[in-house]
Amino acid sequence: MGISTHILDISLGKPANNVQVKLWQFRDDNASGGSWRLLGEDYTDVDGRCKTLLGENQLIATQYKLAFTVGVYFYDIQVESIYSTIEIAFTVADPTQHYHIPLLLTANGYTTYRGS
C-alpha cells in the first residue's frame, strides 16, 4: 500500500501547503544497531497533502518517521512559531495496509493520529 500525510493549520482553518516533508526508514543492519535512511521527500500540495513519499520503495514492516519543515511555512505566512521541524515516528506492522499520518498544526502546538 503506502504512506501518505496531510497538514491542516487548525489556527487558520486551512491546509498548510508548500511544506517540505521527508520520509525516513529505520534499517537494522545488526552491525551498528541500525540507522535511518532517507526514502523520499516532497512538498505538500495546495490541499496540504503529500502522497508520493515512498516513490518506488516498497513498504516493509519497520520503523518510519516523517519530518515536516514547518519553520519555513510559518515564516512564509508571517506567524511566529516555536517549531522549526516536527518529526513523527511510527511503526508499520502490516505492510499490506495503508498508513496515513496527518499533522494538525498551530504555531504553538500540534497533534497527529492514524487516518484513513
Give the pLDDT confidence of 90-112 residue by residue, as tens digits: 999 999 999 999 999 999 999 99
Q: Is 65 part of a structural domain of the chain?
A: yes
pLDDT at 34 over 90: no
Calculate mean pLDDT across residues 42-71.
Answer: 96
From the list 82, 90, 91, 75, the residue with the least C-alpha distance to 20 is 75
Res. 116 pLDDT band, cuts 50 70 90: confident
Q: Is 97 part of a structural domain of the chain?
A: yes
Q: Is 52 part of a structural domain of the chain?
A: yes
Q: Is 116 part of a structural domain of the chain?
A: no
Calculate mean pLDDT across residues 22-47.
Answer: 90
pLDDT at 31: 64
- What is the reported pTM? 0.92
Q: Is 66 part of a structural domain of the chain?
A: yes
From the list 31, 25, 5, 32, the residue with the least C-alpha distance to 105 is 5
Q: Which domain holds residue 82?
A: 2-110
Cα separation, 47 vs 50, in Å, equals 9
Res. 86 pLDDT band, cuts 50 70 90: very high
Lowest mean pLDDT among 6-15, 26-35, 47-56, 63-72: 26-35
* Domains: count for the chain: 1
Residue 96: CB partners within 8 Å, gap ≥ 6? Answer: 1
Cell numbers describing residue 54: 515512498
Give the pLDDT confidence of 69-83 residue by residue, as tens digits: 999 999 999 999 999
- b/e per residue 16-46 (b: at least 16 CB within 10 A): bbebbbbbbbeeeeeeeeeeeeebbbbebee
CATH of the domain at 19: 2.60.40.180
Cell 518506488: give the residue: 56
